[in-house]
C-alpha cells in the first residue's frame, strides 16, 4: 500500500500535471523551510519531472522513478547522476574559465555543450564571474574534458576559443565553489523560491 502523501506533495503533483516541474513545485509548496541550503535539498540530488505517459515522476538525470527512490523507510536513495556516469557515485568538478576576450558571454553555450555530452552537468548556482562549474564522475571526466576543451566560436579572423582554462576540482572543492556561488546569489537577490 503506498504511503499517504503530504498536502505539499499533493499540491506539487497537481502543479506538475499542469506543466510545472515537480521538484520545484514541491519546494515551493513546502514553504520557506524548503529553501535550497544543501546540494541535495532533501531530494537526494534528484530532479524529478512529471511523466504523463506513466503518471509518475522520474529523475531527469538517473532516470529512476520517485516511488522507487523513496521506497524505503529511511532517507531517499541518492541520485547516482547521469546515466553516462555508469553508476559511479563519486564526483569531481571542472571549473571552466570563459575567454574574457569574447564580445559577450557564452555561458549558456558552455553549459549546454557540457550537458549534451551526457557525462557532465551544471548544478544549480554553477555560474559566477566568468566561471562555470561542471560536475562529472572520475571515470568519465577525461572524456568530458576532451569533448569541451576545444570549443570555439566564429570571430573576425577565424575562430576564438570559448575557454581559457579548465581546472579539475575535488568533490569537496567543487561543493565549496557551489556554496560560495549560492552565498553570492543570496547576497545579491535574496533566498531563491
Residue 7's pLDDT band, with cuts at 50, 70 and 90, is low
The pLDDT value given to residue 29: 54
Q: Are 162 and 150 in contact (CB under 8 A)?
A: no
Q: Are 140 and 84 in contact (CB under 8 A)?
A: yes
pTM of the model as a whole: 0.67
CATH 3.30.70: which residues of the chain?
A: 84-189
pLDDT tens per residue across span 112-132: 999 999 999 998 899 999 999
- The correct CATH number of 84-189 out of 3.30.70, 2.60.40, 1.10.10, 3.40.50 is 3.30.70
Residue 172's pLDDT band, with cuts at 50, 70 and 90, is very high
Q: Which residues contact 33 (CB under 8 A, 6 or more apart)?
A: none
Amino acid at each position: 500500500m503506498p504511503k499517504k502523501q503530504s498536502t505539499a506533495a499533493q499540491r506539487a503533483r497537481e502543479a506538475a500535471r499542469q506543466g510545472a516541474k515537480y521538484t520545484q513545485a514541491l519546494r515551493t509548496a513546502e514553504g520557506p523551510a524548503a529553501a535550497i541550503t544543501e546540494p541535495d535539498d532533501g531530494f537526494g540530488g534528484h530532479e524529478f519531472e512529471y511523466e504523463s505517459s506513466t503518471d509518475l515522476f522520474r529523475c531527469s538525470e538517473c532516470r529512476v522513478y520517485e516511488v522507487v527512490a523513496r521506497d524505503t523507510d529511511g532517507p531517499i536513495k541518492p541520485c547516482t547522476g547521469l546515466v553516462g556516469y555508469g553508476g559511479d557515485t563519486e564526483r569531481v568538478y571542472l571549473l571552466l574559465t570563459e575567454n574574457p576576450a569574447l564580445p559577450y558571454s557564452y555561458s549558456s553555450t558552455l553549459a549546454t555543450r557540457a550537458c549534451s555530452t551526457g557525462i557532465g552537468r551544471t548544478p544549480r548556482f554553477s555560474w559566477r564571474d566568468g566561471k562555470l562549474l561542471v560536475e562529472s564522475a572520475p571515470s568519465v571526466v577525461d572524456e568530458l574534458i576532451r569533448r569541451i576543451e576545444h570549443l570555439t566560436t566564429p570571430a573576425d579572423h577565424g575562430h576564438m576559443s570559448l575557454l581559457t582554462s579548465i581546472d579539475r576540482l575535488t568533490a569537496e572543492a567543487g561543493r565549496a565553489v557551489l556554496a560560495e556561488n549560492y552565498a553570492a546569489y543570496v547576497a545579491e537577490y535574496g533566498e531563491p523560491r
